[in-house]
């Protein structure tokens, strides 16, 4: 398993979650001792600024020791033990609604799964639910985005084949990213999602933290966000800045790519009118009929190649860029949640400083909050590095394969015209003999 | 009349097989007949210049003049550097020359001039007559025109044409002195008139039909090509935005920065490359355009045949009718309706003297009519013979030229592909370093 978010799965916000027994075994490369050191509670540090200090021995620097070799972006197949595919979209028609379900096939050797293979059908709503649960359980981990709901501006029909296929691929990527994540892949809700039958899933969905407790969370979050965080550690500031810029760049690149697809499609439309004029002309000619048909043929073949090239853009590059646009929303949310946690802690500390009574009770609460914040910070930083590596790898692959596809495209078109010229030269040889010799 | 049937190894400036980017200003396949002017003289339209002058009272106009240079071939072949004879002509003078040729040689498919105004314009291409690219393409077109006339077995011997090349001043007066203007007007009227021909030469009718098809299909092709060019321009140019964003993005990245930055440069280069590509394609479009306009000239020759044939048929009919009238007058048997006959019936027989007068008149008319028929027959036969000959010559020239044009087009496409391969390979390398 790649990635190295060095922490346990203990998340104080969802007490309902249990730690899988062999989770520590998942923390492959990490030394147990270092793991503990990272999480030693320094109960004397109560003022906000100490957070920066503690960051110096934070997982961020620890993680660098166990940094995955940047050159090997591929997962070590030997270590991967959870394989998921999403395919086979099917329409379901009920009296109330029509929707699409996707087949989700899981193969695993993990012991927390009862079986080694599962096949279930899930609809988009189920994915949304799963992602929501993951974010709730791990508010400062970066969860891969889902494809958007119904995109109106593209004038895409909900049941249009291209739309369904694009969505299927994105859902497949989503689950695979979760499966690769050292912490998220151990999530109980994920397990249910992958293995439960439809009715089981439905009943499971109804459980979980009640509405009121969720309300409490929201209220606290809102209160904290209104208050704002006072001493945000510098590295989170730089992450924030980066995310802002990155978001803009991704949005631009996404737009540019969509625009190129649009322009190319319009180019193809015009080619449809252009190529046949040569064929039409050949009908009026004798000597020129062959060359004219030849040109028409070349244009037709180049047309087909262009279609393939456009498909590469719209099937590979555009969705990847778009996913990273969506990612930035996730990143911003994660940073916000982290800020809220810290703000809450800071607020409590202020209360502590003011109050006389209930010091012990407060102190205990603050300790818990401190742990929570520290854990959250570490989780975020670890996942941030992980995210950056994935981002670099994904975008590099997408651009490299786009460039390669373009090279292939032009090479194919080149050979089309080359063989036309060869056939022309063969003709020239014949004509020359009649004309008495030329070049 | 020169017999230009022997198609010798045509003197061509075929583009080098390996260099598709060579501008072919002499793409015309010129005929290598020993009597054509081109054999004896090298002609170029070397330059274009803007001039201003007074058009009418207080009205200034800006126009372009073109420099025509001529040099005796012998000097060129011997490698002597001889100063060329040169003179300046503007487009309207070329038009005048062409109109003269059209009227004087109605059996010849007269080469067209480059278009007066830019048509089949796609959005980035300027429609302005003063635009330097337009002027340059026009310069090439004018040179092609002169070379085609100079290599034509018949037209190359024309004195007016020769003076056009050699004598700057006073040429206009010489042209007008030929009196061609009067013929020009009647020619135009005749060409546009509708009349029914009973027995046109089938070959000419087929050619006329072909010229219509050629006109229709080439204009369709040119329009579609212009739209495709427009779209392709858009595709390439949008890639320039990648360059800009990559550059900005590289500023916030560490490992990816260099790869992105250099990839961005290649995106910019890719976006810029379309300008040259499309400019070159414009020359291809010009070659097709020439034949669009040639189609009109071809049609005119066929129409002229129809006109000659029609005049012959009319003259024959007229003669026949007059002969019939004479017969009736002589024998008294009325076979045809005539106004005279009817009034005679109504108002009484005419006198012997009157009849005599009428007969005499008819005889004169018949003699005239026979002369006319003889003339028209000769004219028609002459036109059919010469016209068919020239149309054959034209056909072979067209087949050669257009074949060459399509080959050029293939080279252009290949060049574009090669550029694309290079740029995207470079980009891929940069991306790999991300």
Test A410 with B255 for CB contact under 8 angstroms: no
Test B252 with A242 for CB contact under 8 angstroms: yes
Top pLDDT among A216 and B54 is at B54
- Residue length of chain B: 434
List of residues 6+ apart from A335 with CB closer than 8 A: A236, A239, A240, A243, A380
| Residue among A252, A410, A436 whose CB faces B420 most closely | A410
Band (pLDDT 50/70/90 cuts) for residue A29 is very low
Torsion of CA B145, B146, B149, B155, to 10 degrees: 140
Test A420 with B410 for CB contact under 8 angstroms: yes
Say if B309 is an interface residue toward chain A (CB within 8 Å).
no
- pLDDT for A210 equals 55
Query: What is the end-to-end Cα distance of chain B in Å, rounded?
Result: 74
* pLDDT tens-digit map of A379-393: 899 999 999 999 999
pLDDT of A320 higher than 90: yes
Top pLDDT among B189 and A266 is at A266
What would the DSSP string read from start to end of A123-155?
Answer: EHHHHHHHHHHHHHH-TTS-PPPPPPS--TTTT
Distance separating alpha carbons of residues B93 and B78, to the nearest angstrom: 33
Say if A307 is an interface residue toward chain B (CB within 8 Å).
no
Test A288 with B399 for CB contact under 8 angstroms: yes
- pLDDT for B125 equals 66
Top pLDDT among A297 and B166 is at A297
- pLDDT for B345 equals 64
pTM, full prediction: 0.78
Top pLDDT among B245 and A44 is at B245
- pLDDT for B341 equals 64
- pLDDT for B247 equals 92
User: Which ranges constitute the DSSP H helices of A143-197?
Assistant: 161-180, 188-195
Give chain B's residues under pLDDT 70: 1-35, 38-39, 55-58, 75-77, 80, 123-127, 333-341, 343-350
Say if A261 is an interface residue toward chain B (CB within 8 Å).
no
Distance separating alpha carbons of residues B100 and B160, to the nearest angstrom: 9
Q: Tell me, rounded to whole angstroms, the distance of Cα A365 from its chain centroid.
A: 36
pLDDT of A66 higher than 70: no
User: Which range has highest mean pLDDT (A216-220, A351-355, A430-434, B357-361)?
Assistant: B357-361
- pLDDT for B12 equals 38
Residue A48, helix vs strand vs coil: coil
- pLDDT for A152 equals 56
Say if A359 is an interface residue toward chain B (CB within 8 Å).
no
Gyration radius (Cα) of chain A, Å:
29
pLDDT of A372 higher than 80: yes
| Residue among A277, A302, A418 whose CB faces B217 most closely | A277
Cβ within 8 Å of A, B 202-231? 210, 213-214, 217-218, 220-221, 224-225, 227-228, 230-231
Strand pairing category for B85-90 and B59-72: antiparallel
| Residue among B9, B403, B406 whose CB faces A436 most closely | B9
- pLDDT for A21 equals 42
B304 backbone φψ class: left, alpha, beta (φ>0; ψ -120 to 50): alpha
- pLDDT for B336 equals 61
Say if B407 is an interface residue toward chain A (CB within 8 Å).
yes
A120 near A102, Cβ under 8 Å?
Answer: no
% of chain A beyond a pLDDT of 70: 72
Give the minimum alpha-carbon distance from A342 to chain B in angstroms, rounded to a whole number: 27
- pLDDT for A229 equals 75
Give the minimum alpha-carbon distance from A168 to chain B in angstroms, rounded to a whole number: 27
pLDDT of A244 higher than 90: yes
Residue A362, helix vs strand vs coil: helix
Cβ within 8 Å of A, B 278-307? none
Test B406 with A253 for CB contact under 8 angstroms: no
Residue A338, helix vs strand vs coil: helix
Determine the average pLDDT of the residues in A216-222.
Answer: 64
| Angle between helix B132-150 and B91-104 (nearest 10) | 30
Test B418 with A414 for CB contact under 8 angstroms: yes
Determine the average pLDDT of the residues in A423-433.
Answer: 62
* pLDDT tens-digit map of A92-117: 888 888 888 999 999 988 888 888 89
Secondary element (H or E) of residue B71: strand B59-72
Strand partners, B84: none
Say if B119 is an interface residue toward chain A (CB within 8 Å).
no
Distance separating alpha carbons of residues A421 and B411, to the nearest angstrom: 8
**Residue B180 CB neighbour total at 10 angstroms:** 19
Q: How is residue B143 written in tokens?
A: 């040179």
pLDDT of A361 higher than 80: no
Q: Which of A270-274, A279-283, B335-339 bottoms out in mean pLDDT, i.e. has the lowest?
A: B335-339
Contact list in B for residue A410 (CB cut-off 8 A) is: 417-418, 420-421, 424
Average pLDDT value for chain A = 77
What would the DSSP string read from start to end of A407-424?
Answer: HHHHHHHHHHHHHHHHHH
Determine the average pLDDT of the residues in A21-36.
Answer: 34
pLDDT of A337 higher than 50: yes
- pLDDT for B412 equals 96
What would the DSSP string read from start to end of B301-312?
Answer: HHHHHHHHHHHH
- pLDDT for A415 equals 96
- pLDDT for B9 equals 33
pLDDT of A408 higher than 90: yes
Determine the average pLDDT of the residues in A422-436.
Answer: 61
Q: Give exposure, B81-104, as e/b (b: 16+ Cβ within 10 Å).
A: eeebeebebebebbebbbbbbbbb
Say if A49 is an interface residue toward chain B (CB within 8 Å).
no
């Amino acid at each position: 398993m790649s990635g190295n978010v060095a922490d346990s799965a203990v998340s104080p916000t969802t007490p309902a979650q249990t730690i899988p027994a062999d989770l520590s075994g998942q923390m492959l490369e990490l030394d147990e001792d270092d793991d503990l050191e990272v999480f030693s509670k320094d109960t004397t540090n109560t003022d906000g600024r100490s957070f920066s200090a503690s960051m110096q021995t934070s997982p961020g620097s620890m993680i660098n020791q166990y940094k995955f070799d940047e050159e090997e972006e591929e997962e070590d197949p030997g270590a991967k033990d959870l394989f998921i595919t999403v395919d086979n979209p099917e329409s379901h028609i009920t009296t109330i609604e029509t929707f699409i379900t996707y087949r989700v096939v899981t193969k695993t050797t993990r012991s927390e799964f009862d079986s080694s293979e599962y096949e279930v059908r899930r609809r988009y709503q189920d994915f949304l639910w799963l992602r929501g649960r993951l974010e709730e359980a791990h508010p400062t981990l970066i969860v891969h985005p889902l494809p958007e709901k119904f995109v109106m501006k593209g004038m895409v029909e909900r049941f249009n084949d291209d739309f369904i296929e694009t969505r299927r691929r994105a859902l497949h990527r989503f689950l695979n990213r979760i499966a690769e994540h050292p912490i998220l892949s151990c999530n109980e809700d994920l397990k249910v999602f992958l293995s439960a039958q439809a009715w089981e899933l439905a009943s499971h969905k109804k459980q979980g933290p009640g509405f009121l407790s969720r309300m409490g969370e929201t209220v606290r979050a809102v209160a904290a966000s209104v208050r704002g965080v006072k001493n945000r550690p510098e590295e989170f500031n730089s992450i924030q800045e980066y995310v802002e810029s990155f978001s803009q760049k991704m949005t631009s690149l996404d737009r540019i790519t969509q625009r190129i697809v649009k322009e190319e499609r319009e180019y193809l439309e015009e080619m449809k009118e252009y190529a046949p004029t040569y064929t039409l002309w050949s009908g009026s000619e004798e000597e020129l009929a062959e060359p004219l048909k030849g040109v028409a043929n070349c244009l037709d073949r180049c047309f087909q190649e262009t279609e393939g090239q456009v498909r590469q853009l719209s099937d590979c590059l555009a969705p990847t860029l778009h996913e990273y646009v969506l990612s930035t929303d996730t990143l911003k949310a994660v940073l916000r949640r982290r800020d809220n946690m810290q703000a809450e802690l800071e607020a409590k500390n202020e209360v502590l400083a003011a109050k006389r009574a209930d010091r012990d009770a407060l102190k205990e609460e603050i300790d818990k909050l401190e742990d929570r914040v520290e854990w959250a910070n570490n989780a975020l930083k670890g996942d941030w590095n992980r995210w950056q590596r994935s981002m670099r790898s994904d975008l590099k692959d997408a651009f490299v394969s786009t460039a390669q596809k373009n090279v292939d495209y032009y090479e194919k078109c080149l050979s089309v015209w080359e063989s036309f010229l060869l056939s022309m030269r063969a003709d020239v040889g014949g004509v020359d003999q009649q004309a008495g010799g030329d070049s | 009349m020169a017999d230009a049937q022997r198609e010798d190894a045509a003197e061509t400036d075929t583009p080098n097989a390996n260099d598709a980017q060579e501008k072919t200003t002499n793409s015309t396949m010129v005929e290598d007949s020993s009597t054509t002017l081109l054999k004896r003289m090298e002609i170029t339209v070397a330059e274009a210049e803007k001039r201003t002058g007074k058009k009418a009272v207080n009205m200034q106009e800006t126009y372009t003049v073109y420099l025509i240079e001529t040099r005796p071939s012998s000097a060129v072949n011997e490698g002597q550097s001889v100063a060329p004879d040169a003179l300046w002509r503007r487009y309207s003078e070329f038009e005048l020359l062409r109109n003269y040729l059209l009227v004087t040689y109605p059996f010849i498919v007269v080469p067209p001039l480059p278009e007066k105004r830019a048509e089949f314009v796609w959005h980035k291409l300027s429609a302005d007559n003063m635009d330097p690219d337009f002027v340059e393409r026009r310069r090439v077109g004018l040179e092609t025109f002169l070379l085609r006339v100079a290599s034509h077995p018949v037209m190359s011997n024309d004195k007016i044409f020769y003076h056009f090349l050699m004598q700057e001043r006073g040429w206009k007066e010489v042209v007008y002195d030929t009196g061609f203007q009067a013929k020009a007007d009647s020619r135009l009227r005749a060409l546009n008139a509708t009349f029914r021909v009973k027995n046109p030469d089938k070959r000419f009718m087929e050619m006329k039909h072909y010229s219509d098809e050629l006109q229709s299909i080439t204009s369709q092709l040119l329009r579609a090509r212009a739209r495709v060019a427009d779209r392709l321009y858009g595709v390439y140019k949008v890639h320039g935005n990648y360059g800009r964003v990559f550059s900005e993005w590289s500023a916030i990245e560490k490992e990816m920065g260099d790869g992105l930055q250099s990839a961005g440069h290649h995106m910019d280069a890719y976006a810029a490359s379309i300008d040259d590509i499309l400019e070159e394609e414009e020359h291809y479009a010009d070659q097709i355009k020439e034949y669009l306009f040639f189609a009109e000239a071809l049609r005119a020759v066929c129409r002229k045949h129809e006109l000659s044939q029609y005049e012959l048929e009319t003259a024959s009919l007229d003669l026949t009718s007059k002969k019939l009238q004479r017969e009736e007058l002589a024998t008294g048997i009325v076979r045809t309706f005539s106004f005279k006959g009817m009034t005679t019936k109504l108002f009484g027989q005419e006198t012997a003297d009157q009849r005599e007068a009428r007969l005499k008149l008819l005889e004169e008319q018949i003699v005239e009519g026979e002369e006319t028929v003889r003339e028209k027959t000769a004219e028609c036969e002459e036109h059919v013979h010469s016209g068919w000959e020239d149309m054959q010559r034209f056909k072979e020239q067209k087949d050669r030229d257009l074949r060459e044009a399509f080959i050029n087009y293939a080279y252009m496409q290949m060049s574009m592909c090669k550029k694309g391969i290079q740029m995207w390979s470079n980009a891929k390398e940069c991306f790999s370093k991300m």
